Amino acid sequence: MMGAIVSGGFFGDNVAPVSDTTIASAATQETSITSVVKSRVKYSVIAGGLSAILYIWQGFTTTVPVDVSSMSDPAQLKGLLLFICPILLIAMMLKGKNFVFALTSNTILAAIFCLILGRLDFEGFFGSNGAVAQGFGNCMNSAVLCMLIFIIIRLLKVSGVFEALADFAVKKCKTHKQAEVVVGLLAMLGSVMMGGATYSIILSGGLTRSLLKGFKVARTRGANLLDGLSCGAVGLIPYGGAVLYAASQASATGLVSADFGAMDFIPYTYHCMLLIVVYWVSIATGWGSSFEDESSENS
């Protein structure tokens, strides 16, 4: 169950236009979010579809019955109306609407829904311990870490390290396929080192752009390799942020044993495994590769 939940989370992280990894991969490769999402759907759907088949099969072959009727609360069903907000947000992004406008307007819409449905009152939304304050508080650590990473990247650029690494990589890579292999290894290594896909993308994005640009590889291709392999790798390490959070939430339910941990469900994060397989097959076979001419912005 936890493997399926984490897999679903990384499916959205990889393909959603409002995902931090999608935004970071598009920004570092100097292309648009819309073109990135449209070009990576085929990879995500293959990995997600195969994962879904595995979970359905596993569900039918489960040998331990669980009575979920005692855990369900019909009163919670009205909260499903909030799904309108992310669906509308994704539709607006795919239509090319401004990201800040789309996100702000849908946040306001979600707040209105919560107030109407009685999920939150005014204090619960704007209070000192309300949704807004908690939202800002929860992202502060990530924001500070991202700022530090950007500082490091800037220092590396100013010092000429990025240019030296890019020149070295270009000289060593004789074909675009070899360059893509380097990008794939950078994405996975960054995730393993930092425990987060977004941090890995930000850290290696500049070098990826410099390397693939020399072979005129499409910007969307670089963004997809970065995002897919970073998301796949971070879902398979026990100290990854999303994996640790999932383990803590499972323990908080009281439905698992006291010694339950990330390693108990990582072998079942099928989507993350299949993302890695799909993208490495793509690199090896050239499937999905595309190139741009001197005047192209996206391809």
Report the pLDDT value the prediction gives residue 298, as an integer from 0 to 100: 46
pLDDT for 245 beyond 70: yes
Report the pLDDT value the prediction gives residue 48, as an integer from 0 to 100: 95
Average pLDDT over residues 266-279: 96
Average pLDDT over residues 167-176: 80
Q: Are 179 and 127 in contact (CB under 8 A)?
A: no
Q: What is the DSSP string of 207-233?
A: HHHHHHHTTTB-HHHHHHHHHHHHHHH
Report the pLDDT value the prediction gives residue 299, as an integer from 0 to 100: 46
Radius of gyration of the chain (CA): 21
pLDDT for 274 beyond 50: yes
Helix and strand numbers, DSSP H then E, in the chain = 13, 0
Report the pLDDT value the prediction gives residue 70, as an integer from 0 to 100: 62
Q: Predicted confidence band at 97 (pLDDT cuts at 50, 70, 90)? A: confident
Report the pLDDT value the prediction gives residue 6, as an integer from 0 to 100: 95
- The angle subtended at Cα 158 by Cα 156 and Cα 159, nearest 5°, is 65
Average pLDDT over residues 25-32: 92
Q: Which of 73-77, 122-126, 253-257 has the highest mean pLDDT?
A: 253-257
The model's pLDDT over 130-166, given as tens digits with 9 standing for 90+, comes to 888 888 877 777 677 677 777 877 777 787 776 777 7
Please indicate whether residue 225 or residue 33 has the higher confidence score (pLDDT): 225
Report the pLDDT value the prediction gives residue 285, as an integer from 0 to 100: 95
Average pLDDT over residues 82-97: 82
126: CB partners within 8 A, 6+ apart: 132
pLDDT for 295 beyond 60: no
209: CB partners within 8 A, 6+ apart: 28, 29, 30, 219, 222
**SS3 labels along 125-170:** HHCCCCHHHHHHHHHHHHHHHHHHHHHHHHHHHHHCHHHHHHHHHH
Report the pLDDT value the prediction gives residue 155, as an integer from 0 to 100: 78
Q: Are 167 and 210 in contact (CB under 8 A)?
A: no
Please state the pTM of the whole predicted model.
0.81
Q: 72 by DSSP, 3-state: which? A: coil
Q: 65 by DSSP, 3-state: which? A: coil
| Domain parsing of the chain, residue ranges | 2-71+140-285
Report the pLDDT value the prediction gives residue 130, as an integer from 0 to 100: 81
Report the pLDDT value the prediction gives residue 172, as an integer from 0 to 100: 81
Report the pLDDT value the prediction gives residue 80, as an integer from 0 to 100: 78
